[in-house]
Chain A
Amino acid sequence: MLSRSVKYIGFVVAIAAIVACKPAPDPYKWPIPIGFPEPIVPADNPMSEAKVALGRALFFDVNLSFNQSVSCASCHQPEFAFAQNSQFAMGATQQVLRRNSQALVNIAYNSNLTWAHSGINTIEQQILIPMFAEDPVELGITGHEKEVLNRFNNARYRPLFEQAFDESEANFERIVFALASYVRSLVSLNSPFDRYAYLAQDDAMSESALRGMELFFSERLECFHCHGGFNFTQSSQHENQRLDLRPFHNTGLYNEDGVGAFPLHDQGLYEVTHKAQDMGRFRAPTLRNVQYSAPYMHDGSLATLADVIDFYAAGGRAAGINNPLKSPFIQGFTLQAEEKQDLLAFLASLSDDAFLSTENQGKDRKLE
């Protein structure tokens, strides 16, 4: 009997030893200042350094496109705040997309993704579009699944998958989860504005930028109504804040028929909901690092931030000014030349040099 007990105890100890030997993964450390809330992360894809590392490698790898011509980073370039300095994005088949590449800044906090979709709420959902969409083709994986996957079952990637998922084999779920983890890790909260607002450093912003901030938050300009919250977009949530209004607005860019229609090839949220009032509504993007993500608007139709300010000062563009579906906060305003400079200085104070440093991101690009 004694020997049986000893055996039993031995067995328990052995199990405990095995469990103890497998190190528990360290909780992911978000690159956020103390006091900032963490983003909400889907329960089935928790963050880990290993997933971020794999995702980073995949993000810059042209092998993810069916013809090895483009990577995610072709349209989301680090030096442009992960946007692109051209009006429209272009896919692997040289097909020109209808919209401007969005910056990837703090999208871990986004409650909606893409320019205009009320139903895409997680990055894991969104990533399927550039990977598998057939019209327009972006990475163009559809129809080439095996071929593309085979490019990741090799000596370079097997250890990365192993570390991220305890399985060395590549599959599309793991690729999506890793890419999602990487773009979630692109957090930018270290701008002069952040140091002024959240770290109470009174000298972090220039006098001009401070004057511009007053304009930005004034009822005269109304900028902050749509570009509100710590991400300067309404589409933002975090661990302690899960409620918000819908972040889509018609800014009066177009008015094709006098009663509010946007051009047929891109009518914004209306294409998703088919509700009349959603015509021409697009998601207010973040203004963090906006200085670097030109051109602007969903169709890249405004070249510079000065153009954007002029656009809002006019209360829209051409016939769009009288678009009946235009947001009530876009009424137009008059700005003195110096005030415009102040507003631009404020927008520049939302840039985070560490986030933009290509040194940070460039290293990974050389891995290719």
Chain B
Amino acid sequence: MPLLHKRIITVITQKMINDRLTTRCRFLHQAMQNTLVLVFILLSSACSKLQDKPALSEIKVEVFFQQAPIRCEQIVSLDEQNWRINQLAFFISELNVSQNGVQQALPLTTNDWQSNDVALLQYTDCAEQASQTEQSGPLISAYHASLQLAEPIDFSEVMQLQFTLGIPFELNHLNPLSQASPLNIPSMFWSWRAGHKFMRLDMLGDEQSWVFHLGSTECYADSAMRAPTMQCGQPNRLTFDLPKQQQGETLILHLDRLLSGVALNNKTACLMQPDQESCVQIMKNMADNQVFEWQ
């Protein structure tokens, strides 16, 4: 008897559960249908939004000569002489955008090419570009042409891009051995006193060579191996505020505009010597010759 009783109870209970389940399922089914419709609507609106306003996670940085991008080792003609970029590299920091007068900092991701919101761009030896993907071991990569943003940004409403060509004083004169890449690269470092080369352009001609190294001058310290405690007399950190020309995807360095009016030869290298004519001309070009353009 007790056994039969138990079985009946089990059956009844089971039926009740089933019934309840059926009701719940029906409700669930309906809810799911509604959700699906909602998701579909949301997705389609999101898609159209994405098409209209792409969020970018990088800004390409290209080098142009006479309105066209120059490829590695391409020969360019200046003063009827052939020249080729032997080395070109520069630091960009303090990257900002502004939208209706409101400025917003664009933090950079951290990798071999970027740290402390300072990025190194480098345009040498395209052939060695491939080795960049390697994540460990020695790297002899010499080509890197984009700013990687820590948070993707929708540039559609953004009107202006601001940045500094150079490295902030607080980061510029530190022991390079204890700094993160790219703030520890010997070829871009002068000394603790003078800090980094903010821009390095080494040009090679058929019969001559020419160089331009931008960096702070009039920095005072006990020796080349000691850091200045006060801002350098001529920081030479150049700031740019550029209106957006197109979608904001590309920042362009116009090499021809940078070198406009500068005679390139063995005697005119600009290594920030005071009164060097080529330096005066380049700094003038940097100030008012639209050397950088934001497209």
Where the two chains meet, the residues of A that have a C-beta atom closer than 8 Å to any C-beta of B are: 35-37, 40, 42-43, 111-112, 118, 121-122, 196-198, 202, 210, 213-214, 216-217, 219, 224, 228-230, 234, 236-238, 240-246, 277, 324-329, 331
Cα distance, A236 to B139, chains bound together (Å): 11
CB A93 to nearest CB in B, in angstroms, measures: 33
B140 contacts A246, C-beta separation under 8 Å: yes
Instruction: Identify A228's interface contact among B86, B178, B189, B204, CB under 8 A.
Output: B189
A234 contacts B224, C-beta separation under 8 Å: no
**Mask for B266-289, Cβ within 8 A of A = 1, else 0?**
100101110000000000000000
Cα distance, A37 to B125, chains bound together (Å): 27
Q: Which residue of A lies closest to B180 (CB)?
A: A240
Q: Which residue of B lies closest to A245 (CB)?
A: B187
Which residue, of A229, A277, A327, A328, has the highest number of chain B Cβ atoms within 10 A?
A: A328
A-B contact count (CB 8 A): 109
Which residue, of B113, B139, B176, B179, has the highest number of chain A Cβ atoms within 10 A?
A: B139
Q: Is B79 an interface residue (CB 8 A)?
A: no
Cα distance, A347 to B205, chains bound together (Å): 33
Query: Given A111-B140, A229-B189, A240 and B184 touching (CB < 8 A)?
Result: yes
Please provide the chain B residues from 206 to 229 with a CB less than 8 Å away from any CB of chain A in the complex: 206-211, 222-225
Which residue, of B136, B181, B182, has the highest number of chain A Cβ atoms within 10 A?
A: B181
Cα distance, A277 to B266, chains bound together (Å): 17
Q: Is B191 an interface residue (CB 8 A)?
A: yes
**Secondary structure class of chain B's binding surface, majority of residues:** loop
Q: For residue B148, which residues in chain A have a CB less than 8 angstroms away from its CB?
A: none
Cα distance, A121 to B137, chains bound together (Å): 10
**Mask for B121-140, Cβ within 8 A of A = 1, else 0?**
01011000000000011111
B142 contacts A246, C-beta separation under 8 Å: yes
Q: For residue A241, which residues in chain B have a CB less than 8 angstroms away from its CB?
A: 181, 184-185
Count of B interface residues, CB-CB < 8 Å? 50
Interchain residue pairs A-B with the least CB separation, the first 5: A229-B186, A328-B209, A217-B224, A228-B186, A242-B139
Cα distance, A121 to B131, chains bound together (Å): 12
A324 contacts B177, C-beta separation under 8 Å: no
Q: Is B65 an interface residue (CB 8 A)?
A: no
Can you list 29 A-B pairs with a CB-CB distance of less than 8 A? A35-B177, A40-B138, A111-B138, A111-B140, A118-B140, A121-B140, A217-B191, A219-B271, A224-B190, A228-B187, A230-B176, A230-B177, A237-B138, A240-B179, A240-B181, A242-B112, A242-B139, A243-B139, A244-B185, A245-B89, A245-B124, A245-B142, A246-B125, A277-B204, A326-B209, A327-B209, A328-B210, A328-B269, A331-B269
Cα distance, A228 to B196, chains bound together (Å): 12
CB A25 to nearest CB in B, in angstroms, measures: 20
Q: Which residue of B lies closest to A219 (CB)?
A: B271
Cα distance, A325 to B84, chains bound together (Å): 12
**Secondary structure class of chain A's binding surface, majority of residues:** loop
Q: Which residue of B lies closest to A275 (CB)?
A: B73
B224 contacts A236, C-beta separation under 8 Å: no
B273 contacts A219, C-beta separation under 8 Å: yes
Q: For residue A219, which residues in chain B have a CB less than 8 angstroms away from its CB?
A: 271-273
B181 contacts A210, C-beta separation under 8 Å: no
Q: For residue A327, which residues in chain B have a CB less than 8 angstroms away from its CB?
A: 209
CB A277 to nearest CB in B, in angstroms, measures: 6
B186 contacts A236, C-beta separation under 8 Å: yes
Q: Which residue of B lies closest to A109 (CB)?
A: B138
Please provide the chain B residues from 102 to 150 with a CB less than 8 Å away from any CB of chain A in the complex: 112-113, 120, 122, 124-125, 136-142
Which residue, of B113, B120, B140, B184, has the highest number of chain A Cβ atoms within 10 A?
A: B140
A214 contacts B139, C-beta separation under 8 Å: no
Cα distance, A214 to B191, chains bound together (Å): 10
Query: Given A241-B185, A324-B206, A246 and B124 touching (CB < 8 A)?
Result: yes
Which residue, of B205, B222, B269, has the highest number of chain A Cβ atoms within 10 A?
A: B269
Cα distance, A241 to B188, chains bound together (Å): 12
Instruction: Identify A234's interface contact among B139, B186, B211, CB under 8 A.
Output: B186
A196 contacts B225, C-beta separation under 8 Å: yes
Q: For residue B141, which residues in chain A have a CB less than 8 angstroms away from its CB?
A: 243
Q: For residue B125, which residues in chain A have a CB less than 8 angstroms away from its CB?
A: 246
CB A232 to nearest CB in B, in angstroms, measures: 9
CB B120 to nearest CB in A, in angstroms, measures: 7
Q: For residue B186, which residues in chain A have a CB less than 8 angstroms away from its CB?
A: 228-230, 234, 236, 244
Instruction: Identify A112's interface contact among B112, B137, B140, CB under 8 A.
Output: B140
A243 contacts B84, C-beta separation under 8 Å: no
Q: For residue A224, which residues in chain B have a CB less than 8 angstroms away from its CB?
A: 190-191
CB A273 to nearest CB in B, in angstroms, measures: 9
Cα distance, A40 to B189, chains bound together (Å): 21
Cα distance, A84 to B135, chains bound together (Å): 37
CB A33 to nearest CB in B, in angstroms, measures: 10
Q: For residue A245, which residues in chain B have a CB less than 8 angstroms away from its CB?
A: 87, 89, 124, 142, 187
A243 contacts B120, C-beta separation under 8 Å: yes
CB A255 to nearest CB in B, in angstroms, measures: 12
A121 contacts B138, C-beta separation under 8 Å: yes
Instruction: Identify B138's interface contact among A118, A122, A234, CB under 8 A.
Output: A122
Cα distance, A244 to B124, chains bound together (Å): 10
Cα distance, A242 to B144, chains bound together (Å): 13
Apart from the given pairs A217-B224, A244-B186, 7 other A-B contacts in the complex at a CB distance below 8 Å: A43-B137, A202-B222, A229-B186, A230-B186, A243-B112, A328-B209, A328-B269
Q: Which residue of A lies closest to B139 (CB)?
A: A242
A213 contacts B223, C-beta separation under 8 Å: yes
Q: For residue A238, which residues in chain B have a CB less than 8 angstroms away from its CB?
A: 177
Q: Which residue of B lies closest to A228 (CB)?
A: B186
